[in-house]
Amino acid sequence: MRVLGIETSCDETGVALYDTERGLAADALYSQVAMHAEYGGVVPELASRDHTRRLLPLIQQVLDEAGVARGELDAIAYTAGPGLVGALMVGASTAHGMARALDIPVLGVHHMEGHLLAPMLENAPPGFPFVALLVSGGHTQLVEVHGLGRYTLLGESVDDAAGEAFDKAAKMLGLDYPGGPHVARLAEAGDPGRFRFPRPMTDRPGLDFSFSGLKTHTLTTLRQLEAEGALDGAAQADVARAFEDAVVDTLVIKCRRALDQTGLKRLVVAGGVSANIRLREGLAHECAKRHARAYYPRGRFCTDNGAMIAYVGARRLQAGEHDETGIMKAVPRWPMETLSVP
């Protein structure tokens, strides 16, 4: 089965072709980061318009690269949510229009299920069951995964997601959007011993996260340094390091608890923040102590992409799922635990 995958949930236009016999045949991605950086964050209307401009050329690029004609497609999968509703509608309407013209099935896919199963695209994918940390600009969740559609939410952020906290810290430090990579680069020059920021919600049982208090602590520290006339480049780097260490330690502590609680030995880490080097080092250390193993998608599949949507769509389409004729899905909020087991 040849499945075209379309991702337009936020600020990246992703397209891929997944063949259930050959694997990933081709993928392409256009990032809107440069456009939104001017505004310090994603502007939904601009995101939707740019998806409209980029999507059809990217689809043709992927088909050409794979050597597949439109008439040779067996199905189309698209991100139905969660995400920005206008951006989601671009992908949904394009997918349904193409599927109607080609008389093939079409299926709306959950964006976070795509991230959750992105490591399945690698040469040595994890087997079920496993614990998954989904950590991005919009979500921070720990999930126990027993199979496709069989998910148990273990914990999630009660306020800001980790990636969102990175973006806000970057703005306080005068860094560009998106914040995560910029904060990490600045933190490289920081002194890890100068400041110690709190590790939120690690002093109590449970697997939920909270990063709003850490954001406030960062702002308070910067204001105090400024009032003392001590907010120079070195101090900014020290604050960036303290912030990054606090986020990373919090995520690592919660993953350790999740592995211990479930007794599982496989940990999947996905989403944009999964690319953070210190996070990977911390999780590698914890997994080694527990004779466990961490799995990650390749670099370009850590952020939003069409390949993960094509893969999940293919698996669910193979199980007989598809959208009803003419009924598009665009769901801004969609709890993953409500997904069906195919």
135 is in an annotated binding site: yes
**Cis omega before residue 129 (within 30°)?**
yes
Global pTM reads 0.94
Q: Is 136 annotated as a binding residue?
A: yes
Place of tokens 């299926």: 107
Q: Establish whether 180 is an annotated binding residue.
A: yes
212 burial (CB, 10 Å; 0-12 / 13-18 / 19+) is middle
According to the annotation, is 48 in a ligand binding site? Answer: no
Q: How would you write the pLDDT of the chain (342 residues) with one tens digit per residue? A: 999 999 999 999 999 999 999 999 999 999 998 999 888 889 999 999 999 999 999 999 999 999 999 999 999 999 999 999 999 999 999 999 999 999 999 999 999 999 999 999 999 999 999 999 999 888 899 999 999 999 999 999 999 999 999 999 999 999 998 899 999 999 999 999 999 999 999 999 999 999 999 999 999 999 999 999 999 999 999 999 999 999 999 999 999 999 999 999 999 999 989 999 999 999 999 999 999 999 999 999 999 999 999 999 999 999 999 999 889 999 999 998 899 998
Instruction: Write the class of the CATH domain 128-296.
Output: alpha beta
Tens-place pLDDT, residues 206-246: 999 999 999 999 999 999 999 999 999 999 999 999 999 99
pLDDT of residue 37: 87
Q: In Å, how far are 85, 111, 168, 219, 260 from 10, measured between CA atoms? A: 9, 10, 18, 27, 34
Residue with tokens 């695209």: 121
Whether residue 304 is annotated as binding a ligand: the answer is: yes
> Do the annotations mark residue 305 as ligand-binding?
no
Q: Name which CATH class applies to 2-117+301-338.
A: alpha beta
71 annotated as belonging to a binding site for a ligand: no
Short-list 281, 330, 321, 307, CA closest to 115: 307
Q: Was 276 annotated as part of a binding site?
A: yes
**Location of each CATH 3.30.420.40 domain in the chain:** 2-117+301-338, 128-296
Q: How far apart are CA 108 and CA 61, in angstroms?
A: 22
The reply, when asked if residue 137 is annotated as ligand binding, is yes
